[in-house]
Structure 1
Amino acid sequence: MKRVWCLFRVSKKQQVSTDDDIPMQKNACHEFVKNKPDWIITNELYEKGVSGWKKTVDERDEMAALKEGALNKEFDVLLVFMFDRLGRREDETPVMVNFLVQNAIEVWSVKEGQRKIESHIDKLLNYISFWQSDGESQKTSIRVKEAKKQLSEQGYFQGGPAPIGYKIVETAERHWKNRERRVKELVPDENEAQLIKLIYKLYVENHMGYRKIADYLNENGYRNREGKVFMVSTIQRILSNSIYVGLKKYKNAKGGIQPFNEKLRIIPDELFSQAEQIRNNRSSSIKEQDKFDIPRAGKLLFSGLAYCKYCSSKLTSNYLYRKSKCNNKERYYKNTIYRYKCPLNKGNLYGNHQQNIWGGKKFDTLIMNKIKFILSQFELKSFLDAGQNTKIDLLKIKERNISNLEKEYVALIKQHEKLNLEIGKALIGESSFTAEQLSGAINAIEKQMEEKLSQLNMVKEGLEKERENFSDVNYLANELVNWERKFNEADEDLKKAMLSRIINKVYLGKNVIEIELNILLSDYFEGNFN
């Protein structure tokens, strides 16, 4: 008697029956064995919710059991409903079949008969068969993704939890797939929407960072839906989610966005744009190794913005204590003196360092006087014109980047076409490469193409956004109107935030103060003031 092992597999757990079985495949295999008098089923292997395309052979436990059973001579026949139940990867599944056959195991399918490797033609047919299965899996994946993409593009709710600020409600519309169900949609939740507005206000108007907003909410008794404290990552996601202006994102390689839906709006466009500008500015600062875009630590007004003129190092906050006599001349009090200090000069004025310590109170006053003098020459209309010219230059740079990325993408397409032509030669033995080698190369090129296309689309979207949005120029212009009055009325944190918006760095030297304005103001004033 031939000992038969059966393998049953479904890709999704929803396909498994309520009896924790895979009835259709099992029944077909049992009926097939009834017509083989010398066969007897001695073992059944189940793979429930396992993709034969996404998972490799090494990632599937039942494949390991098959290999071990074949090596130990525990069975004589492997039976599956169809060969794609064994796997759908053209670079691995034929190898598994070869392994079984070489270990004296017959490989059978209820629908396709026996799979052999006795001749070169058999091997070629094996490869072509699993290559087709691989292709069908890719097509299925593409169809499913495209269907979800189209539904998302049309604004349909695709399931999952509601983002913070929203709740899920049923509509009167019947579901397009199941007529017994109702279509669901997102609508703002009144209580959570107020929380979203507060978070944006704290970020834009109060210039609080993610951590400070989370601390503020938690200290004032706010909690998330699960009754837990707010995490920094939650605040970060909220401040970057365009759903709050009616543009819901959905998951795809291009970062798709559903059609504009005014019903989803919680905050105005201008507020979201201002938050986005702040995030981009801070992100750029981090990439440039300046992690204190809006400095908060220290008693000095320009902590995080002050740099040494001689070595370009960021100055640290430094302080010392001095004893001073009280009015009665018998008691002393301790006075704290804050200073800026260059960290690369430990007290010895070597090289070009002509000074390494600057008194905080004195130089804060000197710097502020220079800033107020600069801003006294500010004129709104001409600044807006200059800012728009700067924007135009930035747009040209992005356009050049897009052109370069498109050339790189076209080059990858040509490589992909050449490799596909070589596959045909490999199948008839006219190529110096094996089909497996070419398949690996094609997969690598396809991955590069996907990454390049995603990068290209992101840059294009950024370009379109830049073309449509000049809010950063307008926002800074609004900040500069009556700036000195706003500054004088602000608390210490807000003063530092306001300063960081108009200047990038302040360089201190011996009797020298150099102020580096941000790019928009720098272009407007034609360079730095010394």
Structure 2
Amino acid sequence: MKRVWCLFRVSKKQQVSTDDDIPMQKNACHEFVKNKPNWIITNELYEKGVSGWKKSLNERDEMAILKEGALNKEFDVLLVFMFDRLGRREDETPVMVNFLIQNGIEVWSVKEGQRKIESHVDKLLNYISFWQSDGESQKTSIRVKEAKKQLSEQGYFQGGVAPIGYKIVETSEKHWKNKDRLVKELLPDENESEMIKLIYNLYVNKHMGYRKIADYLNENGYRNRDGKVFVVTTIQRILSNPIYIGFKRYKTAVGGTQPFNENLRIISDELFSQAEQIRNIRSSNIQEQDKSGIPRTGKLLFSGLAYCKYCGSKLTPNYLYRNSKYNNKEGYYKNIIYRYKCPLNKGRLYCDHQQNIWGGKKFDTLIINKIKIILSQFDLRSFLDTSKNMKAELLKLKERNVHNLKKEYLDLTKQHEKLNLEIGKTLIGESSFTPEQLSGTINAIEKQIEVKVSQINSLNKELEKERENYSDVNYLANELENWEQKFNEADEDLKKAMLSRIINKVYLGKNEIEIELNIWLSDYFEGKFN
């Protein structure tokens, strides 16, 4: 009596029935065995929601069970509904069939009969069969991706939950695959999109951090879609999602978003770019334990930007209470005096200088007046010309590096294709290489391809940052026009934000101030103003 193991596989979980079975394949295999008097089914293996093309044999648990069972002589026949249930990869599945047959296992399909390797012709037919399955899978994948890509370009929704700021709307068009369904599209929600604009405005123009924005929304009655309060992670996701400028995220091998769709836009490119720049700076500063770029609170305009000129320490906000007399009535009231203080004025780390406290009101006024004098020398056209030339050269360098990496990537993919074709020759004895040698070489090439893809993605991100910096020059230039008037009309939070965008650090000494401008302005003004 021949012991039969059956393998049932479906690539999508939706194909599995409600009673957790794969009925069509199972019924066909059982009917086939009934016509074989000396066959008996002793084991059934199930692969539910496992792609035979996307996943390699080493990633499939049931393949390991089959190999172990074959080596231990636990069964005599492997039966599948069709051979593509065993796998669809032309570089792996024929090898698996050869392994089973060489270990005394008969490989059968209900629809295609028995697979043999008794001659070169048998091996070639095996290879061609799985090569066709591989090609069909690739074509199906291409068709599905292209259909989704075209629908995305037209603004149609491809499934999932609508991001905050959007709603899902049914169109009158029939679905491309299921004619009983209507195609859906993603559109900005009137109420939620206004909240998205508010969040970006608070982050960029009011210089609030994630926590402060969440608190602001919750205190003012805003709630998430499920009625719950906002948390930091939600704000963080919103401020990093390119969908708000028309690029919906999409999981692809290259890139990370669907084609641009203007109908998805809620905020401007400039506002998103500014938010991206602020996030990158703060992330970098946190990693380096430098919190100068993190949003500042309190009454001092330069808290987080002010440093001691003598020891280089960041000055800390400080205050004291002083009794002040009313002008037009009797009695006294408590007046709060805000100050900058050097933290190293005592203890082991000692700032050896008498000047270690600076009056907040006095020095804030002195610094602002000095900034106004500096910016009075600002010429918009000259600034744009100088900055854009520098950024353009850096941009070209990054683009050349990306181009070179893509060329190397293409060369590796061509080598990979040639090696896959060579596998077919090994199966009919026309190759000077063994399957093991080819497998090792292919694995090495695949690892190199992964490295190149990673490098390309990394450089593309750097390139994108450079492009953002390029647009930031325009944004900063526009903000610097009539800066003094805008500053005088701004509230305290906006003033801090405006100052932090043009200043890197301010050093305070005894009756002296040294201002270090940010990178764009320092290049333009050629250094620091003392």
Fold equivalence (TM over 0.5) = yes
1:411 lines up with 2:408 in the alignment: yes
Q: Which amino acid aligns with 1:504?
A: N
Q: Which amino acid aligns with 1:450?
A: V
Q: Percent identity?
A: 57
Contact 1:309 1:507 in 2 (8 A): yes
| SS of residue matched to 1:302 | coil
Distance across 1 between alignment mates of 2:320 and 2:462:
53
Distance across 2 between alignment mates of 1:475 and 1:506:
24
Q: Report what 2:358 is aligned to.
A: 360
CA RMSD of aligned residues (A): 4.1
Contact 1:16 1:22 in 2 (8 A): yes
Q: Which amino acid aligns with 1:40?
A: I
Which structure 2 residues correspond to residues 280-291 of structure 1 after superposition, within 5 A?
Answer: 280-287=277-284, 289=288, 290-291=290-291
Contact 1:13 1:49 in 2 (8 A): yes
Q: Report what 2:399 is aligned to.
A: 402
Distance across 2 between alignment mates of 1:120 and 1:368:
90
**Structure 1 residues 207 and 284: CA distance shift in structure 2, 3 A:** closer
Tell me by how many angstroms 1:294 deviates. Answer: 4.4
Tell me by how many angstroms 1:35 deviates. Answer: 4.4
Q: Which amino acid aligns with 1:480?
A: W
Q: Report what 1:255 is aligned to.
A: 256
Tell me by how many angstroms 1:325 deviates. Answer: 12
Q: Report what 1:183 is aligned to.
A: 183
Deviations 1:413-450 (A, max 9, x none): 33443454455567344349711112212322332343
Tell me by how many angstroms 1:37 deviates. Answer: 3.2
1:211 lines up with 2:214 in the alignment: no
Contact 1:164 1:192 in 2 (8 A): yes
Deviations 1:233-254 (A, max 9, x none): 2223333445445555544332
Q: Report what 1:107 is aligned to.
A: 107
Which structure 2 residues correspond to residues 292-371 of structure 1 after superposition, within 5 A?
Answer: 292-297=292-297, 300-309=300-309, 312-313=312-313, 315-317=314-316, 338-341=339-342, 346=347, 355=353, 358-361=356-359, 365-366=362-363, 368-371=365-368
| SS of residue matched to 2:148 | helix
Tell me the TM-score normalized by structure 2.
Answer: 0.81
Tell me the TM-score normalized by structure 1.
Answer: 0.81
Which structure 2 residues correspond to residues 259-270 of structure 1 after superposition, within 5 A?
Answer: 259-262=260-263, 264-267=264-267, 269=268
Q: How many residues align?
A: 515
| SS of residue matched to 1:291 | coil
Contact 1:8 1:81 in 2 (8 A): yes
| SS of residue matched to 2:36 | coil
Q: Which amino acid aligns with 2:479?
A: L
Q: Which amino acid aligns with 1:361?
A: G
Distance across 2 between alignment mates of 1:7 and 1:323:
85
Contact 1:203 1:275 in 2 (8 A): no
Tell me by how many angstroms 1:214 deviates. Answer: 0.6
Deviations 1:67-103 (A, max 9, x none): 5544554422111123331234566545654554455
Contact 2:380 2:481 in 1 (8 A): no
Distance across 1 between alignment mates of 2:324 and 2:28:
101
Distance across 2 between alignment mates of 1:245 and 1:69:
55
Q: Which amino acid aligns with 2:358?
A: G
Contact 1:2 1:77 in 2 (8 A): yes
Contact 1:522 1:528 in 2 (8 A): yes
Distance across 2 between alignment mates of 1:164 and 1:479:
36
Give unpaired runs (5+ residues) of structure 1.
none
Contact 1:106 1:114 in 2 (8 A): yes
Q: Report what 1:439 is aligned to.
A: 442
Distance across 2 between alignment mates of 1:196 and 1:422:
51
| SS of residue matched to 1:156 | coil
Distance across 1 between alignment mates of 2:95 and 2:44:
22
Q: Report what 2:329 is aligned to.
A: none
**Structure 1 residues 181 and 81: CA distance shift in structure 2, 3 A:** closer
Distance across 2 between alignment mates of 1:93 and 1:311:
69
Give unpaired runs (5+ residues) of structure 2.
327-331
Q: Report what 1:430 is aligned to.
A: 432
Q: Report what 1:144 is aligned to.
A: 144
Tell me by how many angstroms 1:10 deviates. Answer: 0.9
**Structure 1 residues 429 and 356: CA distance shift in structure 2, 3 A:** farther
Contact 2:402 2:460 in 1 (8 A): no
Deviations 1:264-314 (A, max 9, x none): 4545x3xx523531431341353253334244146654332133546655x
**Structure 1 residues 260 and 138: CA distance shift in structure 2, 3 A:** closer
Distance across 2 between alignment mates of 1:257 and 1:71:
47
Q: Which amino acid aligns with 1:404?
A: N
Tell me by how many angstroms 1:475 deviates. Answer: 4.0
**Structure 1 residues 140 and 345: CA distance shift in structure 2, 3 A:** farther
Deviations 1:313-353 (A, max 9, x none): 5x1527597999999xxx9x99988543256995566xxx7
Tell me by how many angstroms 1:209 deviates. Answer: 1.8
Q: Which amino acid aligns with 1:291?
A: K
Q: Report what 2:8 is aligned to.
A: 8
**Structure 1 residues 5 and 245: CA distance shift in structure 2, 3 A:** closer
Tell me by how many angstroms 1:386 deviates. Answer: 0.7
Distance across 1 between alignment mates of 2:487 and 2:150:
52
Deviations 1:353-374 (A, max 9, x none): 7549621316x63464144133
Distance across 2 between alignment mates of 1:484 and 1:151:
46
Q: Report what 2:382 is aligned to.
A: 385
